[in-house]
Amino acid sequence: MHSNYIIRPMKREEVNIAIDWAAKEGWNPGLHDADCYYHTDPNGFFMGLLDGKPISTLSVVKYSASFGFLGFYIVHPDYRRQGYGLKIWKSGIQYLYGCNIGLDGVVEQQENYKKFGFKLAYRNIRFEYVGGDDVFANTDTIDLSTLPFNTVELYTCSFFPEKRTAFLKSWINQPDCHALGIIQNDRLAGYGVIRKAQNGYKIGPLYADNPALADAIFASLIQAVDFLQPVYLDIPEVNHEALKLAERYRMEKVFETARMYTGESPTLPLDRIYGVTSFEVG
């Protein structure tokens, strides 16, 4: 490994490099993900530079003193298998020292992650919807912006190990997105966000208290965008009702990840998580 290799925190504009590389890897990030991610933890984005040239990236977003999430672990193809990845990886793990660390890793890297103490929790499967169905938007769905932010945040809290106010605010209000929810018995009973991606659209998250509500929100989300574009949904494989939803809409499996943690898997209502927010920040 070259001695002129340094690792330092990214500047905001450099997160665009990580997004671009992730797109080249086929991960299809959202068009406005960089802003939402970076402002969640501006110190949690690392870049490795060789003679001043970016060759590696890593995000290690610290949500609290006890929980963080790792993503964007990418080494430029010209510099792989030379030790550069391992060095930036160790810097990121050090930044999250003392945290239970989560990640969504490509399946081929599972064994490598296990060497660093990560344990498999479950698989997330990316499904692609390409239209062709008569899908009708549910008239019960409402725009999340019509609700007090506290209402949305309170509902969201049970679906993630830590509160993430700054991220949630930017996520549901980002450009080129629709955030829709359903009120039942005078309370929020589910919501979803669809955003423009490098290719088509991505839904994430999709939370709902039961399968019928999940279906209604999903239908409304895909009706809200250009029906000629593909739509992607990342489903925790352990949610069987979510897999049935994918089957009903004749969605095709296109990708999968291994959700892993260094500590105990957080207690989350996986039966109500029909779509993962993000493979990069959880």
Q: What is the 3-state secondary structure (H, E, C) of 80-126?
A: CCCCHHHHHHHHHHHHCCCCEEEEEEEHHHHHHHHHCCCEEEEEEEE
Q: What is the pLDDT of residue 48?
A: 97
Give me the residues paired with residue 106 across strands.
257
Q: Do 127-275 and 5-122 have the same topology in CATH?
A: yes
Which amino acid is located at 176 in the chain?
D
pLDDT at 138: 66
Q: Helix axis angle, 211-223 relative to 240-248, nearest 10°?
A: 40
pLDDT of residue 135: 66
Domain 127-275 has CATH 3.40.630.90: yes
Strands 201-208 and 231-236: parallel
**Beta pairing partners, 233:** 127, 203
- SS3 state of residue 236: strand
How does pLDDT run across 75-91, given as a tens digit for each residue? 999 999 999 999 999 99
Residues 136/219, Cβ–Cβ less than 8 Å: yes
What residue ranges do the domains of the chain occupy? 5-122, 127-275
Q: Are 273 and 191 in contact (CB under 8 A)?
A: no
Residue 199 CA from chain centroid, whole number:
16
19 neighbors 54 (Cβ within 8 angstroms): no
The length of the chain is 282
Specify the DSSP element, H or E, that contains 166: helix 165-172
Query: CATH second-level architecture of 5-122?
Result: 3-Layer(aba) Sandwich (3.40)
Structure confidence at residue 107 (pLDDT): 86
Question: pLDDT tens digits for 207-253?
Answer: 999 999 999 999 999 999 987 899 999 999 999 999 999 999 999 99
Q: Which among 102, 149, 127 is positioned nearest to 248, based on CA atoms?
A: 127
197 contacts 225 by C-beta, under 8 angstroms: no
Max CA separation in the chain (angstroms):
63
What is residue 30's DSSP assignment? B
- pLDDT < 50: residue spans in the chain: none
Please tell me the predicted confidence (pLDDT) of residue 146: 96
